[in-house]
Structure 1
């Protein structure tokens, strides 16, 4: 499957492919006198699904925003695709993107799907090219839906169903009228237009329906885009039990290879990284 060039990232050839996507040493986040995250040392491989779990207010969002270069007030060292979080925050922001995060980058309820996609495309164009054509938006939407169908089929294998039920985005639908899973998918789609190497999906638990959460985890686990083999995903949830259920069954099905999964449980006293899969 091929995607529009607007969705295919350029590869940073200066980084060794064996280097981790995310690496931290004694990384801490403080808010005033309070330590939000304390002394983490992580090595997240390229192409992994990095899952941060923990109770409400455990620091999940703060950690993900910091690793995406959107939060200050940290100590220790961290690199994202070889870029230092301390001295190269601009480069980190360039290679990372946030799916919809209500506090930081909420989708515009007054827009339609196609207008939201158009706005994302405009942001990635040179300043002297402030408009996009209807054809470019329509082509992007067609190819995005092709990607969703492919992910749907793979996630369906994992869920033991013919199809997992991922939505098909319709350009004229208003964002305020979208169902929660539709909206979550659009948030990811808009983020992918920015050609990131690190995709941040904060709080999958905002999807209240169990089936929706299961489908979302299955999609993140199996998401593959032609020519885009180094996309790393960092996601969070209070208790990603639906993901654990999928991983228990993963050897019994034959979808496209699943991402390696790394879990950081912020409720654990050790706060060490656990590899849940060894698949590439």
Structure 2
């Protein structure tokens, strides 16, 4: 947002998650350079969301290893959560349709103020403006400015709002789910263009999609979560299937996130 962000390198090796009803995803392996746009492609129910939450330090894998900027998962999950943010993840951090855009932004700024140095009012305004601009959602384009209720945003602008909220914390990694959900034609193209633009600022972006055609065209690397799929390039190998898993933490007896980080995931 303005200056180029130092993105996080992402590496997974035989990463797997098993739930009560069987495998969620299985034997995921890939490497992505800082600032890459990575697509996690597969049909609904193939473990895409769980893989995103694992890479963001919010879910504990059953086996295998991953590293985010050299921080090993699951052992360093808390540290990963400090540099990774969730973009829109339906069912996890949906915006409150009653609250306006400004309220969502203030809530997220308040969260970051509790976690880090509390910013001044001017610094908060500047950060908000930069985040909205980077997400393609400047306030003057909204019908009621920052007082526009989130429930009045269309699907593309809800994606933009979710990315703006993630960018407020200036993360090195953003994980976004279902980029093609309810988006068609020009709006779907615009969503991929936006994700490419965010990655081009240096932030590593990992996005889940069912649209393998757009993923092949737009992403630097495509990781497949379907069991029979082959990787898009030799540097990546991946397989998987789906349900739910144990939360991630720095130890097996620790929760997935602190109260503040849980609030961040659901803001």
TM (normalized to structure 1)? 0.72
Q: Is the 8 A contact 1:98 1:200 kept in 2?
A: yes
Cα deviation per residue 1:155-212 (whole Å; 9 max; x = unaligned)? xxxxxxxxxxxx9353110111111111110100000111211101111121332221
> RMSD over aligned Cα, in angstroms?
3.1
Q: 1:215 to 1:240 in 2, by over 3 A?
A: farther
SS in 1 for 2:167: helix
Q: Is the 8 A contact 1:114 1:172 kept in 2?
A: yes
Specify which of 68, 83, 87 is matched with residue 71 of structure 2: 83
Hey, what's the Cα distance between the residues in 2 that align with 1:101 and 1:148?
A: 16
SS in 2 for 1:71: coil
Hey, what's the Cα distance between the residues in 1 that align with 2:26 and 2:116?
A: 44
Q: 1:142 to 1:40 in 2, by over 3 A?
A: closer
Gapped regions of structure 1 (runs ≥ 5): 13-19, 153-166, 248-259
Match of residue 267 from structure 1:
226
* Bigger RCO of structures 1 and 2 (CA < 8 A, at least 6 apart): 2
Greater C-alpha radius of gyration: 1
Q: Is the 8 A contact 2:84 2:172 kept in 1?
A: yes
CA positional deviation for 1:43? 1.0
Match of residue 124 from structure 1:
112
Gapped regions of structure 2 (runs ≥ 5): 236-267
Q: 1:222 to 1:85 in 2, by over 3 A?
A: same
CA positional deviation for 1:222? 2.5
TM (normalized to structure 2)? 0.75
CA positional deviation for 1:119? 0.9
Match of residue 2 from structure 2:
2
Q: Is the 8 A contact 1:25 1:42 kept in 2?
A: yes
Match of residue 55 from structure 2:
67
Match of residue 168 from structure 1:
141
Matched positions, count: 232
